[in-house]
Chains A and B, each alone.
Chain A
Amino acid sequence: ETGVTQTPRHLVMGMTNKKSLKCEQHLGHNAMYWYKQSAKKPLELMFVYSLEERVENNSVPSRFSPECPNSSHLFLHLHTLQPEDSALYLCASSQEIWSGETQYFGPGTRLLVL
């Protein structure tokens, strides 16, 4: 595997389910990000991790819970979601936390909440 991988690629869940999204980067980067991409809205940054420490939580509801066990893996735990949470969830990584760094994106997980 190369670059940034995400699993699953598609997920359908009910509002009472609990599920997790997984992201893995094979680039040796120190920073990882979760973004939400909704239809007709700009990409929204959700969380930023640097060396496994959360450095940004962009006012995300508590039903989204991130976890970064090491610098290569990032999870997004989901519980009691709402239909409006249906979106494409993108993971990204960068070498360092720096505003000029290039971010490398995974293909995303397409989430549908029923």
Chain B
Amino acid sequence: AQSVTQLDSQVPVFEEAPVELRCNYSSSVSVYLFWYVQYPNQGLQLLLKYLSGSTLVESINGFEAEFNKSQTSFHLRKPSVHISDTAEYFCAVSDQGSSNTGKLIFGQGTTLQVKP
């Protein structure tokens, strides 16, 4: 069974400052890793994901995450945040095994609050 821990429930940060949202996972099998973002009154949308290859993955809006297998982490970073980045961020994993039904295991979410 897998589990995901997002260590911070809320992260307040000033505009243009860097930010890191932490995600650790536990799994006995290989996993795929995802970050989803949920803006107020909207559904979740994919920010980025790691499937294979380079352990550093990037999104189109300046976020990046690095898969660290030894530390079982997939932390999300952005060097300079904007007010519009205010949202809830969810880390998720899925089992790479052939029996997987597309099931995602989510963390509890981190609320990023960007202040002017």
Contacts and interface: CB of A to CB of B under 8 A. Distances in A.
Interface in A88-103: 90, 92, 94, 97-103
B99 to A, nearest CB: 9
B97 interface: yes
A42 B103 contact: no
A105 interface: yes
Given A100-B51, A105-B43, A105-B44, A42 B32 contact: no
A50 B102 CA distance: 10
B65 to A, nearest CB: 15
A97 B41 contact: no
B64 interface: no
A92 B104 CA distance: 11
A29 to B, nearest CB: 11
Which of under 10, 10 to 19, 20 to 34, or 35 or more describes the interface residues of A?
20 to 34
A33 B94 CA distance: 14
B96 A102 contact: no
Contacts, number: 66
Given A90-B43, A102-B49, A107-B42, A33 B102 contact: yes
B102 A101 contact: yes
Contacts of A90: 43-44
A4 interface: yes
A4 B45 CA distance: 11
Interface string B27-56: 000001000100001111110010100000
A48 B42 contact: no
